[in-house]
Structure 1
Amino acid sequence: MTSPTVAFVCVQNAGRSQMATAFAERERAERGLDVNVVTGGTRPADHVHENVVETMQEVEIDLSDRSPREVTFEEISESDYVITMGCSADDVCPAGWAGDNRDWDLTDPHGKDPEATAEIRDEIRGRVAAFFDELEREA
């Protein structure tokens, strides 16, 4: 079986999808799974939200060197899973795409206080772990 590709996508690629990507990279390394992880946004921001960088540092993940980027049509087309963060996948997934799309319907952490941002982070961490449990069962 080829390595599955998972795309974490949101509008700005500056908060939720960055956190999900970082947790996915950690899960992939800890579990030794062969999974490709991509991230991007439909309208990327200039930088990862500062409150997100600070909150992720609390769990020893450094996002300070990451930059939001635009997700490409090709990346989505080649992904086995596209996980959106509470922004509709209608603008993201191409017509006729046969992959698995999930929308996690998460609150945007932009401008939230540290406690609210940490709650969103912890929810994302749990969802990513559960998703990787699923990938591990399928491997």
Structure 2
Amino acid sequence: MSAARGQAPLQSPDAVLHRAAERLAHQFAGMVSEETVERVVYESYTALGRTARVSTHLASLAEKFARDRLTALAQSRGLIVKTVPEVLYVCVQNSGRSQMAAALTRHLAGDRVHVRSAGSQPGEGILPTVVEALAEIGIDVSEEFPKPLTDDVVRAADAVITMGCGDACPIYPGKRYLDWELTDPADLSLADVRVIRDDIRARIAVLLDELGATEGLAAGV
């Protein structure tokens, strides 16, 4: 069936991903080869597609995910200078604990720390109770999504904080590794998720102090 009058025809995911790869190849020219860029874009699309509830915006999410992975790759190669500490939070599904930790760190530290999060077995989306618990303190995570753990983001991190994902995270020398024992918020009440949120917030305050990123911390959370 032809496209409705006045509407642009739907484009195939392959065409969208090809253009995404071209944009990213231009952005990372001289740092990452075009072949690597294309591979990362398509890998990202496939990885996100394994758990995505809907595919409508999957290609755009894949471009966003690929851009972050390529940035991490360039950082690990010393081609992009890291001006602030890189922190990576990892849990199983990247739908609860690690998302809360990443969001709270961004809110508390602002641009004094760069944060990533990932899951060893990423879920379909962020838990509604997590979204609500963060919204209560003025943090919007509507644009976030579960991401699979990849080697490039681990290599780029200065501190890796795991939360119940066991040995899924690769170990590299010269990095700081912490394991936070936190209850999985899946299937818990909002009240229980608030307790986990506040526990994570307290741990982050200590971490930021240790990283030297406490000056001028955001107030009110």
TM-score between both structures, scaled by the size of structure 2: 0.57
**Structure 1 equivalent of residue 187 of structure 2:** 111
After TM superposition, give the deviation of residue 59 of structure 1 in Å.
0.9
Deviation above 3 Å: which 4+ runs of structure 1? none
Q: Distance in 2 between matches of 1:78 and 1:137?
A: 18
Q: Distance in 2 between matches of 1:11 and 1:39?
A: 11
Which is further off, 10-19 or 72-81? Answer: 72-81
Q: Distance in 1 between matches of 2:209 and 2:143?
A: 28
Would you say the 8 A contact 1:20–1:128 is kept in 2?
yes
Amino acid at match of 1:122: D
Residue 22 (structure 1) aligned to one of 103, 117, 138: 103
Identify the structure with the greater helix proportion.
2
Q: Distance in 1 between matches of 2:214 and 2:99?
A: 25
| Alignment pair present for 1:7 and 2:88 | yes
After TM superposition, give the deviation of residue 2 of structure 1 in Å.
4.4
Q: Structure 1 residues 118, 97: CA separation in 2 closer, same or farther (over 3 Å shift)? A: same
**Structure 2 equivalent of residue 102 of structure 1:** 178
Q: Encode CA deviations 1:19-63: one digit per residue, 9 max, x unaligned.
A: 00001101222xx52x22111111111100011111111111112
| Alignment pair present for 1:93 and 2:170 | yes
TM-score between both structures, scaled by the size of structure 1: 0.88
Counterpart secondary structure, 2:187: coil
**Structure 1 equivalent of residue 12 of structure 2:** none
Q: Distance in 2 between matches of 1:122 and 1:87?
A: 21
Identify the structure with the greater strand proportion.
1
**Structure 2 equivalent of residue 123 of structure 1:** 199
Report sequence identity in percent: 39
Q: Structure 1 residues 116, 100: CA separation in 2 closer, same or farther (over 3 Å shift)? A: same
Q: Encode CA deviations 1:90-114: one digit per residue, 9 max, x unaligned.
A: 22123x4331110011000011011
Unaligned ranges ≥5, structure 1: none
Alignment RMSD, CA only? 2.0
Q: Distance in 1 between matches of 2:213 and 2:191?
A: 33
Question: Which has the larger Rg?
Answer: 2
**Structure 2 equivalent of residue 74 of structure 1:** 152
Which is further off, 1-10 or 52-61? Answer: 1-10
Q: Encode CA deviations 1:106-127: one digit per residue, 9 max, x unaligned.
A: 0000110111110000001111
Amino acid at match of 2:132: E
Count of residues in correspondence between the two structures:
134
Amino acid at match of 1:92: C
Q: Distance in 1 between matches of 2:214 and 2:175?
A: 15
Would you say the 8 A contact 2:109–2:213 is kept in 1?
no
Amino acid at match of 1:91: A
Counterpart secondary structure, 2:133: helix
Residue 141 (structure 2) aligned to one of 63, 69, 73: 63
Q: Distance in 1 between matches of 2:90 and 2:104?
A: 14
